[in-house]
Chain A
Amino acid sequence: MAHATMPDTNVPTEATWMQRNKLAIAPWFFLAPALVFFAIYVVGPIFESLYLSFFEWNGLYTADGESTATWVGVDNYVKLWDDPNFWTSLVNNVLWLVLFMLAVPAGLFIALFLNQEVPGMRLYKSLFFFPFVISQVVVGLIFGWFYNPDFGVVGSIYKAFYCEETVNFVGNVTFKCVGSPPDILSSPEFATYGIIAAGLWPQIAYCMILYLTGLNNVASDQIEAGRLDGAKGWKMLWYVVWPQLRPATFIAVVVTVIGALRSFDMIAIMTQGGPFGSTNVLSHYMFETAISEYGERYGYGSAIAVVLFAIMLIFISYFLWRMYQDEKGGR
C-alpha cells in the first residue's frame, strides 16, 4: 500500500531483503512480544511439566543449586492409576463439567427475562451481573457460611423446623434437635454438589451477560417477519431467536467448559478438597500434591497437571477447529 502512494522519484535500485519482505515481516514483528511471552509463560511450562512428570522431586535444590530430582520414568503415571484420590478428582471434574453446563440455559433464560423495556432495567441487569463481578473467593466464603450447619441459612432453617431452644447444663442457651442439621460441606456425598451450586451462581451471571449482548444483535426485521408469520413464544425462541444466538452460545459453552475444568478457588476456599479428599478436582489435587504444605511431590503433581492438560486439549482442539471452520466459512 505504502509503495503505491510513495512518489517514485529515485532511480529504481535493487530492493533490500527487508523492503522486499516488508509485508511478510510486519505481522511477525507485531506478534513477537506476545509470542515471546506466550512461549515463556504458557508453552514452556507445558513442556516443563511434562518433563518433570518423569521425575520424583521434592522441589529442593542442593546448596550448590543442583536439583535433587531423580528420574523415575512413567512411575508417576502408574501410581496415578492406582491412586483412589486421583479417580475421585477425575470423577468430580466430570461432575463439574456436566453440572456447570446448566449455567448456559439458565443464563439464557435470565437474559430473555431481562431483555425488556422496564424503567430501571439497567439496575436489575447489573444486580443480576453482580455475582460475576465479585471475587470467586468471596463467593466461596459466602456459600461456605450459607451452608454452615451452626449459623448458616441452611442450619437456621433446619433449626426453625426441627430444633427447640433449651438451656444446657451450665445454663447457656443451646438447641436440641431431632437428628442433626445437614452439613453439606462435610458430607462426602453432597459436598461437591454444594460447591458446584456455589460456582454456578457467578457462571450463570456470566452466561447471562453473553446472551444479553447476543440478544442486542438479534435482527428486529426477522422477529417482525416471524411475528407476521404467526410465530410466538417457544416457536419464536426456537426458530427465530435461538439460531441467531449461536455465536453467543458458542462462547458461553467455551467459557463454561474452561471454567469447570479450572475450578479451583471455590474448592480451596470451601473445603480444601475435604472431607478426606472427596471434593478434590484435578487442579486442586495437583496443587495439593505439588505445592501445598503436605505436598512437595512435584513430579507427581506434574503428572496430574499433564492429565488435566490432556483433557483440556480435547476441548481446546475442538473449539479451535470450530473457530477455524467459522473463519473459513466467513471468508
Chain B
Amino acid sequence: MFRTLTTAAAAIALLAPAAFARDLVISFDDLNPGPKKGFEDAVAQFKAENPDINVIVNINDREAHKTAIRNFLTADAPDVTSWYPGNRMAPFVDAGLFQPVDDVWADNGFNEDLAAIKATMSRDGKIWGVPYSYYQWGIYYRKDIFDKLGLSEPQTWDELLAACGKMKEVGVTPFTIGTKFLWTAAGVFDYINLRTNGYDVHNALTAGEIKYTDPRIVATFDNWEQLINECGFVENHASMSWQDAIAPFANGDAAMYVMGNFSVDGYKNAGLTEDQIDFMPFPVIDPAIAPAEEAPADAFFIPTNAKNVEDAKKFLAFVARPDVQTQWNKTIGQLPINSKADISDDKFIQEGFALLNSATGLAQFYDRDAPAAMAKAGMEGFQKFMLDTSTKMEVLERLDEVQTEVYK
C-alpha cells in the first residue's frame, strides 16, 4: 500500500513540470504544539530565504519516528532527518546510513560556535550532524518549602544531606521520582556519577571501557545509597511515570525533583507558580571534579541516500545560525547551542544557560550515551537498586555480564 503510494507520488513528481528546480525533503520528529511550531517557523523562514528550493516537510510522532527511521534511511531516505547525537546515532553511522558534514561545520565556523557539543556530534573522527537545541538537567525544587524551612540552595553534598534532614523532620519527602519508564533513575545515576567521578568516567563507562564493579562506580552507588537512606525518594516510584511523580511535588509532599527542563510545563500545569519553583545545579560531591552537566541535544542529519545533498547542507547551516537558534529555542523553551545566540528571559532558561556555559563537559544522558541493550539493562538495574539498596553488588555484577556481551 505504502509502496504504491510512494511510487504513485514519484510518478506524479516526474510528470509535474519542473516549476521548482529542487525538492528538499525534511523529516522531523515532534508533533507537540511547541516543537512543531518552532520547526515550522524555521522552515518558513528558510523557504523565504531560498525561494528556489521546494521544501517538503514530513512531521512524525517521536516514537513513530524512532521506528520509521530504521526503514526510511535505506528504503526512501529524506534529504534531512532529525535524530539524536551520542550513541543514538552510532548504529546508523556504523551502518553507513548518515553522511559526514565536517565541511558544513568548517564553512560556517561551527567548530568554534558549537564547540561545546562537537565531541558529542563526532564519531570515528568525523562530524555527523548539526544540533539545533538542547536543555539542562538539574534539581527543580519547591522554593516556598525551602524558604519556610530557612534553607538555601545546597552547594555541596553535605549541605544537601543536611537539608534533607530538615525536610524529613517536618514530614516532607526530599525527592520525588517516577521510575516506571526507567530513564528517570538514569538521570539521578548520571548526576551522582558525574559529581563523584567526572565526565571522563561517565564516557568511559558508557563506552564500555570500565566495569560497573570498578571501585569508582561502586563509590557512585555508595553515594546513591546514602542519598536514598538520608534523603529518600517517594514510595511507589516504580509504579509512577515522570508525570505522575509531579503530583507529590505539586502537593508539597516532596520538595525536589532531579529532572530536565521540559518538566517545567508540567509543574505549572499542576498548579505551581513561577515563585514556588526554582532550579539549582546538582550539588558538588567532590570539589576536585570539574563540573559536567547533562544536556541532551536534538540535531539534524543527512542520510547517505539523500537525493539533494547540496540543499540539505544549506539547511543544516541554516538551523545552527545564531538568529535561527535564538528564535527557534524561544518558541520551544529550550536552549540554543550556538554560543552567539540569545536566550529568552525565562528564569529557568537563564539559569540553564549559565550552568551549561560553565560546564566542562556535556553528557547526553545515560540511555543516549550507552548502547541500547546496555542502557536497558543498566536502567533496570538502577530501578532494582532504588527499590532495594541491598542488591547493589548483585546489580553491578549483572551489569558487568551484560557489558561483556554488549561491547564486543
Q: In the bound complex, how far is the Cα of B383 from the Cα of A169, in angstroms?
A: 29
With contact pairs A63-B96, A169-B145, A295-B376 given, residues A276 and B74 touching in the complex (Cβ less than 8 Å) = no
Other-chain residue from B66, B239, B253, B387 in contact with A168 (beta carbon distance below 8 A): B253
Do A293 and B372 touch across chains, with their CB atoms under 8 A apart? yes
With contact pairs A276-B380, A277-B380 given, residues A63 and B91 touching in the complex (Cβ less than 8 Å) = no
Determine the chain A residues whose CB is within 8 A of the CB of B305 once the complex forms: 63
Count of chain B residues with Cβ under 8 Å from any Cβ of A?
A: 50
Do A183 and B148 touch across chains, with their CB atoms under 8 A apart? no
Flag whether B70 is at the interface (Cβ < 8 A): yes
Flag whether B216 is at the interface (Cβ < 8 A): no
With contact pairs A60-B97, A168-B252, A274-B238 given, residues A295 and B74 touching in the complex (Cβ less than 8 Å) = no
Determine the chain B residues whose CB is within 8 A of the CB of A169 once the complex forms: 145, 148, 170-172, 252
Do B144 and A170 touch across chains, with their CB atoms under 8 A apart? yes
Do B145 and A60 touch across chains, with their CB atoms under 8 A apart? no
Flag whether A297 is at the interface (Cβ < 8 A): yes
Q: In the bound complex, how far is the Cα of B400 from the Cα of A182, in angstroms?
A: 33
Determine the chain A residues whose CB is within 8 A of the CB of B405 once the complex forms: 79
Taking the closest CB of chain A, its distance from the CB of B138, in whole angstroms, is: 22
Determine the chain A residues whose CB is within 8 A of the CB of B180 once the complex forms: 186, 271-272, 274
With contact pairs A274-B383, A294-B367 given, residues A170 and B148 touching in the complex (Cβ less than 8 Å) = yes
Do B172 and A274 touch across chains, with their CB atoms under 8 A apart? no
Do A294 and B236 touch across chains, with their CB atoms under 8 A apart? no
Q: Which residue of A lies closest to B247 (CB)?
A: A150
Q: Which of B356-408 contact A (CB under 8 A)?
A: 367, 372-373, 375-376, 379-381, 383-384, 387, 398, 401, 405
Flag whether B181 is at the interface (Cβ < 8 A): yes
Q: In the bound complex, how far is the Cα of B94 from the Cα of A322, in angstroms?
A: 52
Flag whether A275 is at the interface (Cβ < 8 A): yes
Interface string of B260-275 (1 = CB under 8 A from A): 0000000000000000
Q: Which residue of A lies closest to B382 (CB)?
A: A276
Flag whether B304 is at the interface (Cβ < 8 A): yes
Find the residue from A180, A272, A294 having the highest chain B CB count within 10 A: A294
Taking the closest CB of chain B, its distance from the CB of A112, in whole angstroms, is: 38
Interface string of A109-152 (1 = CB under 8 A from B): 00000000000000000000000000000000000000111100
Flag whether B182 is at the interface (Cβ < 8 A): yes
Q: Which residue of B lies closest to A273 (CB)?
A: B380
Taking the closest CB of chain B, its distance from the CB of A102, in whole angstroms, is: 25
Count of chain A residues with Cβ under 8 Å from any Cβ of B?
A: 42
With contact pairs A168-B252, A169-B170, A170-B148 given, residues A62 and B239 touching in the complex (Cβ less than 8 Å) = no
Flag whether A185 is at the interface (Cβ < 8 A): yes
Taking the closest CB of chain A, its distance from the CB of B76, in whole angstroms, is: 12
Flag whether A174 is at the interface (Cβ < 8 A): yes
Flag whether A329 is at the interface (Cβ < 8 A): no
Flag whether B92 is at the interface (Cβ < 8 A): yes
Other-chain residue from B92, B171, B384, B398 in contact with A275 (beta carbon distance below 8 A): B384
Determine the chain B residues whose CB is within 8 A of the CB of A289 once the complex forms: 373
Do A63 and B387 touch across chains, with their CB atoms under 8 A apart? no
Interface string of B224-244 (1 = CB under 8 A from A): 000000000001111100001
Other-chain residue from A63, A150, A276 in contact with B383 (beta carbon distance below 8 A): A276
Determine the chain B residues whose CB is within 8 A of the CB of A297 once the complex forms: 373
Determine the chain A residues whose CB is within 8 A of the CB of B45 once the complex forms: none
With contact pairs A149-B236, A275-B387, A295-B372 given, residues A61 and B144 touching in the complex (Cβ less than 8 Å) = no
Flag whether A84 is at the interface (Cβ < 8 A): yes
Flag whether A59 is at the interface (Cβ < 8 A): yes
Do B376 and A180 touch across chains, with their CB atoms under 8 A apart? no
Determine the chain B residues whose CB is within 8 A of the CB of A291 once the complex forms: 67
Do A61 and B95 touch across chains, with their CB atoms under 8 A apart? yes
Find the residue from B180, B238, B401 having the highest chain A CB count within 10 A: B238
Q: Which residue of A lies closest to B99 (CB)?
A: A63
Q: Which residue of A lies closest to B77 (CB)?
A: A63
Determine the chain B residues whose CB is within 8 A of the CB of A185 once the complex forms: 239
Interface string of A282-320 (1 = CB under 8 A from B): 000000110101111100000000000000000000000
Flag whether B251 is at the interface (Cβ < 8 A): yes
Q: Which residues of B contact A (CB under 8 A)?
A: 63, 66-67, 70, 73-74, 77, 91-92, 94-97, 142, 144-145, 148, 170-172, 180-182, 235-239, 244, 247, 251-253, 303-305, 367, 372-373, 375-376, 379-381, 383-384, 387, 398, 401, 405
A-B CB contact pairs (8 Å), 12 listed: A62-B97, A63-B95, A63-B305, A148-B239, A149-B236, A183-B238, A186-B180, A272-B180, A274-B180, A293-B63, A293-B66, A295-B376
Given contacts A63-B74, A172-B251, A172-B253, 15 further A-B contacts (CB under 8 A): A62-B74, A62-B95, A62-B97, A150-B244, A150-B247, A168-B171, A169-B252, A183-B235, A183-B236, A186-B237, A274-B380, A289-B373, A294-B367, A294-B375, A297-B373
